[in-house]
């Protein structure tokens, strides 16, 4: 089954404790992206990657890091989480090119709480 898998789905942590949210897709998509969703603000892009070893900042990159060493994986790293990073996080992927462009496939979401 074609899918985007995120882990963990739920996490409660404390301020300053480094954490990584993993994202993996099995569709051979070049493009992958991380979003956070907060009430009333819709989906805001954190980082995206057009392909392996190519990453770029989205609209709200502060406090986050990403890496793209393999095509299928795009982990989101919070080096020193703070309470304002409490949010619902979604990983998404799509192929590049005009065919099916921007038809994102989303993961199930990861709900993060930072105390």
Partner 1 sequence: QKEVEQNSGPLSVPEGAIASLNCTYSDRVSQSFFWYRQYSGKSPELIMSIYSNGDKEDGRFTAQLNKASQYVSLLIRDSQPSDSATYLCAVTSRGNMLTFGGGTRLMVKP
Binding site for partner 1 (CB under 8 A): 35, 40-45, 48, 90, 101-104, 106-109
> Which class for 45: exposed (0-12), middle (13-18), buried (19 or more C-beta within 10 A)?
middle
- C-alpha dihedral sign at 39, 40, 41, 43: positive
Structure-token pair, residue 91: 């990983």
Q: Closest approach of Cβ 59 to partner 1, in Å? A: 8
CB of 15 or CB of 51, closer to partner 1:
51
d(CA 7, CA 101): 26
CB of 51 or CB of 82, closer to partner 1:
51
Q: Closest approach of Cβ 50 to partner 1, in Å? A: 10
CB of 41 or CB of 115, closer to partner 1:
41
């Amino acid at each position: 089954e074609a899918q985007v898998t995120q882990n963990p789905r739920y996490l409660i942590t404390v301020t300053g404790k480094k954490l990584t949210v993993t994202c993996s897709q099995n569709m051979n998509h070049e493009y992958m992206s991380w979003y956070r969703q907060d009430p009333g603000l819709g989906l805001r892009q954190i980082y995206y990657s057009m392909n392996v070893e190519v990453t770029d900042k989205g609209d709200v990159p502060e406090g986050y890091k990403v890496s793209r060493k393999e095509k299928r994986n795009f982990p989101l790293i919070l080096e020193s989480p703070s309470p304002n990073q409490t949010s619902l996080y979604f990983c998404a992927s799509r192929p590049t090119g005009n065919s099916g462009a921007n038809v994102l496939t989303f993961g199930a979401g990861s709900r993060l709480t930072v105390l």
